[in-house]
Amino acid sequence: MVYRAIGLQSDISPGGLEIVFVEFQEQAGKWSFEVLHADNYAYPEEWKNRLANAASLSAVDYQALHADYGQYTGQQVNRFIEQYKLQYKVALIASPGHTVFYSLCLKIPVQAGDGAAVAAATHLPVVSDFFSVDHAMDGREKSRDTVMQKLGIGQGAAVESNALLNAFMGVLRWRQEFNVFAAETGAVRNSIGGALWTGQDA
């Protein structure tokens, strides 16, 4: 099976939204991949400031930011699709959002960027909110090494980007396979992480 997915990763230092378009192929349980396009869109100062100050917002203002940033993210994905002429080529988007804060003791991971808003803006299926189930089962939000191993990337090897790994986690969620692994997170069991928003098909 072949899956073509967009993966996202947000970082305000130095500041940008990383977007990759990756083709994954699975044959007899073995995975391979090729990064077809990649770019980084720098945040304007307004968004750098809004994201940097997100943790201090009231509940109402945070929800407004959450929705606004989802729409903004969707617009940037549309820009990427237009730039690289990817119309009708993208099966899904993996959008973990921008980490505002997380508390392991309270089991509250908080990522800004409403996946439903991304789906509404792009009309594409979106996987978001990867680690909520893991946190609920006492996990610590980490599956990088195991995901790399599933992709055939050796431990300690250089990886193009976290956006690539996010894209693969989205594909595993789409296939209803484990994408968060208790061996790394410390959770009571493996989980299928990610909320699925179906965009135009909703």
The yes-or-no verdict on residue 195 having pLDDT over 50 is: yes
Spatial separation of the C-alpha atoms in residues 162 and 178, rounded to whole Å: 18
Neighbour-count burial of 157, counting CB atoms closer than 10 A to its CB (0-12 exposed, 13-18 middle, 19+ buried): exposed
Higher pLDDT residue, 128 or 142?
A: 128
The fraction of the chain above a pLDDT of 90, given in percent, is: 66
Please check whether residue 127 is in contact with residue 92, taking contact to mean a CB–CB distance below 8 angstroms: yes
Q: What pLDDT shows up at residue 175?
A: 95
Spatial separation of the C-alpha atoms in residues 145 and 153, rounded to whole Å: 9
Spatial separation of the C-alpha atoms in residues 88 and 53, rounded to whole Å: 36
The yes-or-no verdict on residue 6 having pLDDT over 90 is: yes
Higher pLDDT residue, 199 or 146?
A: 146
First-to-last CA distance in the chain? 24
**Residue whose tokens read 């699925």:** 196
Classify strands 92-94 and 2-11 as parallel, antiparallel or unpaired: parallel
The structure's pTM equals 0.91
pLDDT category at 96 given cuts 50, 70, 90 is very high
Spatial separation of the C-alpha atoms in residues 66 and 68, rounded to whole Å: 6
Q: What pLDDT shows up at residue 139?
A: 86
Q: What pLDDT shows up at residue 22?
A: 96
191: tokens are 């989980």
pLDDT in tens, 28-65: 989 999 999 999 999 999 999 999 999 899 999 999 99
CB within 8 A of 145, min separation 6: which ones? 155, 184
